[in-house]
Amino acid sequence: MFDFNEYQQLALRTAGNHGDFEKTMLYTALGLNGEAGEVAEHIKKAFFHGHELDREKLKKELGDVLWYLAVMANTLDLPLEEVARHNIEKLARRYPEGFSEERSRNRSEA
């Protein structure tokens, strides 16, 4: 088992060099969108086209999403653990008592 930052460092071994900040941001943004689209496409086929929901395929695609996220975060000089922690803290502030549809409809953005 390893933590987010260790994963990020291991992911960078296969990131390649895209030349500069802008190219790397474009590459990772497009890749992240493409892989998220593959997840969505698999879900669509499972729930609307009668295909089996393949958890192993989804695990692979979710891993690809995580890889692009890790590389993009690194390009922004953000440790992946910091991104994850910030997200959990934001959600805790937004839904201090946990998520519910009622709390979602009536939440404050302050």
Residues 86-108 pLDDT 10s: 999 999 998 998 888 988 888 77
Report pLDDT for 71.
97
Mean pLDDT of 8-23: 92
SS3 at position 86 = helix
Tell me how far apart the alpha carbons of residues 40 and 27 are, in angstroms, rounded to a whole number: 20
Q: At residue 23, does pLDDT exceed 90?
A: yes
Residues 35-81 pLDDT 10s: 999 999 999 999 999 999 999 999 999 999 999 999 999 999 999 99
Q: How does residue 19 score in pLDDT terms, banded at 50, 70 and 90? A: confident
Identify the structural domains of the chain with CATH numbers, from first to last: 4-9+19-105 (1.10.287.1080)
Report pLDDT for 110.
56
Q: Which of 100 and 10 is assigned the larger pLDDT? A: 10
Q: How does residue 18 score in pLDDT terms, banded at 50, 70 and 90? A: confident
